[in-house]
Amino acid sequence: MGFSLNSITRKIIFLSLIATTLVQSQETIKSARILDLVIRDYTFESYKTNFKTGKLHSINLPANLSGIKVDTVRFRCGSLHRYGAKIKEFQLSVGIKILPCAKRVMIVRQNLGSNWSSLYYDNYELSGYQLISPVLGLLAYNLGETNNASVSSSSSSSSSSSSIRSDEKMPIIIDFSTTKSANATSSSSTIPLCARFGDGDGKVTLSNQVGPGLCVTTGDGHFGLVVEYSPVMPPLRGDQKEVSRWRIVIGGAMGAAVGAVLIGLLMVAVLVKTKKKKERREELVRRAYEEEALQVSMVGHVRALTATCTRTLPTIEHYEYRPPPP
């Protein structure tokens, strides 16, 4: 009888969990914490006892969560501590600790893509910085002594959650080099910073990269790459980029048209001035020819001034000869 009551109770809780999840899915998710809970619920619903330990499994999400990629893998706590593991972009070093962990733990890896990563930009203090990578999440849930994920525990927001802790000398390495950039407007001269988003407190911790696209952390959470930008030039959304592009095209066309008109007016002014100078020169030449006193003759192809040949006529002087006096 006790077994039947326990089974009925689990079914009721499971059905209520599905109803709650459907309601949450239909509503607009505006909180990063609610998004984690919804993803967790779908992960627990998809969990199967035939999941092999240490093998990564993809989780199918509904259409309203498109763009999010979720993978889960189950470990024995002792084996994970002794050997570490690599889960997509996350490298868990040897000596990793899961607190609490009775026997088995389920690690959930999230890639929120370019669409849902903006949720963290809106809910966290990132003024003066811009996300350039999708937000990656690493979370852990305690499976207890059995292989089955307890639906009753997953219905609570914290009863099944576990913390991942590592030593600072052997931290968790996050490789962003394989992720697609969420916003490619960053300058090549700007060095990205590693961002760790706090657990619902709205605070962001920034640190330097340890290598190109490599960040380190000592615990679970959500992480991304950010760059600093000028407050005068905020990042443009997709629709703003389209408007800005059209403004540039229209402005360029108008500028080219105005420039063409000005050049045309300048050319007309130069032609008019040249024509007036030519007409004035011709008028001066014409007046000179009309008022000249000398005759103009053509010598070959050259005009030359000529005059009639005149000279003083000679006159013969007659002197009477008179002899000198004696």
pLDDT at position 104: 87
Decide if 6 contacts 27 (C-beta within 8 A). Answer: no
Q: Indicate the residue type of 67.
A: G
Q: What is the mean pLDDT of the chain?
A: 77
Backbone angles phi, psi at 319, to 5 degrees: -110, 130
At 8, is the pLDDT very low, low, confident or very high (cuts 50, 70, 90)?
low
211, 173 in Cβ contact below 8 A? no
pLDDT in tens, 15-43: 455 545 444 444 577 888 888 889 988 88
Rounded mean pLDDT, 159-167: 82
**Per-residue pLDDT at 151:** 40
Q: Decide if pLDDT at 1 tops 50.
A: no
pTM: 0.59
pLDDT-derived band of residue 108, with 50, 70 and 90 as boundaries? very high
- Is 50 exceeded by the pLDDT of residue 3? no
* Angle between helical axes of 32-46 and 113-123 (0-180°, round to 10): 140
